[in-house]
Structure 1
Amino acid sequence: MTDKTVPGMSARRTAIVGGLMVATGPLSLTLYTPALPTLVVDLGTTDAGAKLTLTVYFAAFALAQLICGPLSDRFGRRSVGISFFVIYVLGSLLSAAAPNLELLFLGRFIQGFGVSAGVALSRAMVRDQFVGSEAIRILTLINLILTVTPAVAPTLGSVILLLGTWHLMFVVMAGFGLAIVALLATSARETLPETARVPFRPSVIVGNYRRLLVAPAFLFPSLLLGLTFSGFHGFTALLPFVLIEGIGLTPFQFAMAMLVQTASFISGNLVVGFLSTRISSERLVTCALALLGLSGLGFAILPHAFPGSVIAIMIPVGVWMLGLAFISPVATTAAMSGFGAIAGAAGALTGFFQVGGGFAGSLAASTLFPDAFSALTTQLPLVAALTIAVALLDRWRIRH
């Protein structure tokens, strides 16, 4: 269901362009996670200070989407994407040159601001052109492409540490950002026709966001996204300290352990891609809730039952990623399905919930617990329980 007033893009091209844009976010997160303990020593900071570089990034990432989405509804997806990824490149270069933690915070903030375009615009581009099970299929393809970066990034980060310092990692990020700018300039097409564009005025923007936030059909799926991603980014911030500092893995061994996370997410996306046209969205969400519940129990029990075991930690991580693969495209499609006229704002606000959940998860993991192990075994079971409760409340609302 492509709008004929603009050339549009094929499903495959939309998935490739959208997937690479979205992949920049986890690249900026996972590439340098093996270097977090090293960064603590180099910058003379604490574990909490190093983890806050993730939190600053998430905060900018979440808030900037609220600007990026309406800008794309007014000026189009392609030009706004190019502008924001140029900002991302500048933030990467500033981070690469940062001599202290304060400038690294600034660079990470600018990075997060620029990379916000990835989530907001990829979803808007899908909604501009596709609906229903076809949209779920495209978003699943985008998620599958998204997994390539986390699969490679920790290993690449470990190799970079052997060749240089953590500064070099941000140079690599800048190069990836330049590649996205070139891709948008040469291979992407504008998916939003001139006739469908919305004025960029504060009253219009606030009105659109208010319309979305008071709509239960938008709010509940967005809350599910926020909660599941808060769990994901919570353990992303914690695992380097649990596995490298706590258990004693080398950065390369850590990268190998993280392949469990990536393989689970890839497997989940493949299964969802197969099932999306065969079973209902409600059944996909039921599968996701069962997996998240099992993962929460695993985090609560296994690390205590088998102290010092990498497998006891990575099993619940892998099960969580399976659940995330099931719930993400379904919840995103459900949240945006009734708001095609303001797809940029809807994509931005779903992204805000998703990345805002990541911000809340990483902030809680960094500040509310005495150590990383306690955070991992307490926070994740609580998030799993809350996610299931929200999903059940949504089903009750629909049926009554």
Structure 2
Amino acid sequence: MLRPDTFALTGLLALLTMIGPVAIDLYLPALPEIGAELGAPTSSVQLTISFYLFGFALAQIAYGPLSDVRGRRPVLLVALVVFCAASLLCAVAPSIKLLIAARAVQAVGAAGAIVLARAIVRDIYSGARAGRELSIMGMIMGLAPAAAPTIGGLVQAAFGWRACFVAVFVAGLAALLMVWWLLPETLRDGPRPKIAPADLVRGYATVMSRRAFRAYLLLLSSASAGLFAYISGASFVLQEMFGLSPVEFGATFALTSVGLICGNSLSAHMVMRAGIGHTLGVGAATLAAGGFAMVAATHFFPHAPLGLVLPMGLYLAGIGMSMPQAMAGALLPFPHHAGTASSLAGFVQQCVAALSGALVGHLLGTSAWPMVIVVAASGCVTLAVWWASRGVRGMS
């Protein structure tokens, strides 16, 4: 078993948080082919992302409180088994409706990995140290969007879109085996909350009653809205409107992910010196700058893929700086209910992300502007919330 406060454990937790992004990013280049083979319009294919996000959000409600009672490790193992089984169902789905349903079940498994990885961090660390740990995990996790679309494009080109989900199954199986062999139980001994419905409601009400938590929750949600607007729309915009091949799309997606890795790296160093609030502010300003840059580039260079890709890289740098700190700030007041707080934060964050992605998918036609506007608005809202909540976040 791995020991706490080691880079090996950090690496394992980062790999667990990669499961969800891999399940989205690896098959993005295949979205147009899925629509063509299954006879589904763009709006229906996009629902394989939106239903994944909704399933991901709803499942988080259960994982945190359940792990606060039963322990992190057994609940995580069950989640990974569900993820692997659903990934195989995705690979053999004969219709778009069954693929959408299988994606929702896949998300139920993936949700457990990220919720419990964050809860484990809170079990072990506190303060700026927790923010640094989440930033390091985010930096490693950034390899998923950097590499997954490129790998997915190559896999699709060689074996077809169904092979992308087989690759996701292999990744899930590897995570399952590593958790089984290496992950210790981190939930501390002592009084544990009940999981009766009334107790769950009271637990969530207690978490939501903290003004600081609500402020951090708004920051997480607004930043995520822009991220998933891009994830939902980029495949169609860059491939169908700009004419990129699946492999070229994967390469451009990897380019934007460099910003995520750089942002997390900078955040991990900055938070130990400047604290969570200041690091979060720099990230929020970077999100807004990325959104403004995308609007300007789309206006002046409407047919240039780099006009979307480079500003999104800047936006992702802001994600890397802001989201780990916002999540750390949301969890810090709840050492004995870290799973519950992680679940509630993830639920709201992913619901907003799913709505954002569905909106972009519905509005996309022959222009990239629906996606661009949502990204820019999300960055501006995040900066505004950070500024307005400075006093609130100093209170718990």
Q: Does 1:357 align with 2:352?
A: yes
* Aligned partners of 2:59 and 2:108 also within 8 Å: yes
Equivalent residue for 1:315, pick from 310, 319, 327: 310
**Structure 2: distance between partners of 1:399 and 1:111:** 38
Computed over aligned residues only, the root mean square deviation of the Cα atoms, in angstroms, reads 1.7
Distance 1:197 1:179 in 2: 31
Is 1:266–2:270 an aligned residue pair?
Answer: no
1:3 aligns to what? none
Q: Does 1:119 align with 2:93?
A: no
Alignment of 1:58-69 (within 5 A): 58-69=53-64
Local SS of the residue matching 2:194: coil
1:287-315 deviations in whole A, cap 9, x for unaligned? 11221111121222211210211111112
* Structure 1 residue matching 2:337: 3-state secondary structure: helix
Amino acid at match of 1:314: V
3-state SS of 1:49 partner = helix
Deviations 1:91-136 (A, max 9, x none): 1011111010111011101100110012210111011111112111
Are residue 153 (structure 1) and residue 140 (structure 2) matched?
Answer: no
Matches within 5 A, 1:178-327: 178-327=173-322
Task: Look up the match of 2:93.
Answer: 98
Residue 227 of structure 1: how far off its partner (Å): 1.1
SS in structure 2 at match of 1:341:
coil
Check whether the contact 1:7–1:190 (CA below 8 A) recurs between aligned residues. no
Unaligned segments of structure 1, at least 5 residues = 1-5
Distance apart, 1:217 and its partner CA:
1.1
Distance of 1:237 and 1:178 partners within structure 2: 26
AA of the residue aligned to 1:317: M
Give the structure-2-normalised TM-score.
0.96
Shift of 1:369: 4.9
Matched, 1:138 2:133: yes
How far apart are 1:286 and its partner, in Å? 2.0
Aligned to 1:380: 375
Q: Across the two proteins, how many residue pairs are aligned to each other?
A: 395
Shifted more, 8-17 versus 39-48: the winner is 8-17
Does structure 1 conserve the Cα–Cα contact (< 8 Å) formed by 2:131 and 2:276? no
Q: Is the 8 A contact 2:115 2:343 kept in 1?
A: yes
Q: Judging changes above 3 Å, is the alpha-carbon distance between structure 1 residues 392 and 181 closer, same or farther for their aligned structure 2 residues?
A: same
In the alignment, the residues of structure 2 paired with residue 216 and residue 191 of structure 1 have an alpha-carbon distance, to the nearest angstrom, of 28
Matched residue SS, 1:338: coil
Residues 45-83 of structure 1 show CA distances to partners (whole Å, capped at 9, x for unaligned) of 111111110001000000100001111011100000000
Aligned-partner SS, 1:198: coil
Decide whether the 8 Å contact of 1:65 with 1:117 is kept in 2. Answer: yes
Letter in 1 for 2:26: L
* Closer/same/farther in 2, CA of residues 96 and 156 from structure 1, 3 Å limit: same
- Alpha-carbon distance between aligned partners in 2 of 1:56 and 1:346, rounded to the nearest angstrom: 23
Which residue matches 1:28? 23
Structure 2: give runs of 5+ residues left out of the alignment.
none
Q: Whole-Å Cα distance in 2 between the matches of residues 61 and 364 of structure 1?
A: 18
Judged with a 3 Å threshold, the aligned counterparts in structure 2 of structure 1 residues 136 and 397 are, in CA distance, closer, same or farther, namely: closer
| TM, length-normalised to structure 1 | 0.95
Q: Structure 1 residues 196, 189: CA separation in 2 closer, same or farther (over 3 Å shift)? A: farther
1:8, 1:129 within 8 Å by CA — same for their partners in 2? no
